[in-house]
Amino acid sequence: MIVIDWIFLGIILGGLFLGALFGFGGIFKFFTTGIFGIIISIVVCLLVGTAFYGPCEPLLNKISDAILANENWFCQFIGKLNIQNILYYVIMFVIVWILRLIIVRIIKSISQSENKVIKIMNRIMGSVFLLAILLVLFFCVLFVIGWVGGESADNFSAYLASGALRLDRLFEFLRPSEEAEAVASVLKSVY
């Protein structure tokens, strides 16, 4: 076995053990607070915000017209910044932030229940959740190495082929295909 095989096994065993140790509620709270919570809230705002923009557009246009109706330089400056769109996404961010906090607290409270069935489910779901997160991160590293391509990716593939777990198959699956590389080179030449 090569070093990457041991790292892969360590990720699997560590993810299962730490997931069972901290439980789903603890891991979910960790990955939804702090910088992760901000990133999740921004992504949700961008994805959901466009869906609710249409019904809110008449109100946003009225706000813009009211701002531009004033003749002073500050209101004209704010009107050119499209403050109504900024205000819309700030309000959307606050709503998503509050909903995220409520959902995280509900899940954390349920997972800390003293019911034996819930305790067991909390440990199992924590193991699966943390393992999935760690595997996605590992796959992203393999994808980036394959995306870089060239001789280093070929050497890394040959290195993986000598391992007992045959991670070279996974690496080749995650590595961008020649067609994708051709499309990327055409797009680079166009732009």
pLDDT digit string, tens, across residues 29-85: 888 888 888 888 888 888 888 788 888 888 888 888 888 788 788 877 877 777 888
User: Is pLDDT above 70 for 184?
Assistant: no
User: Is pLDDT above 70 for 183?
Assistant: no
Provide CB contacts within 8 A for 20, sequence distance 6+. Answer: 123, 124, 126, 127
Residue 30 burial (C-beta neighbours within 10 Å; 0-12, 13-18, 19+): middle
Confidence of residue 178 (pLDDT cuts 50, 70, 90): low
Query: Alpha-carbon distance 185 to 132, whole Å?
Result: 32
Mean pLDDT of the region 85-114: 87
Residue-wise pLDDT tens digits, 109-130? 888 888 899 899 999 999 999 9
Residue with the larger pLDDT of the pair 134 and 65: 134
Q: What is the mean pLDDT of the chain?
A: 85
Provide CB contacts within 8 A for 85, sequence distance 6+. Answer: 60
User: Is pLDDT above 90 for 11?
Assistant: yes
pTM (2 d.p.): 0.69
Q: Decide if 97 contacts 40 (C-beta within 8 A).
A: no
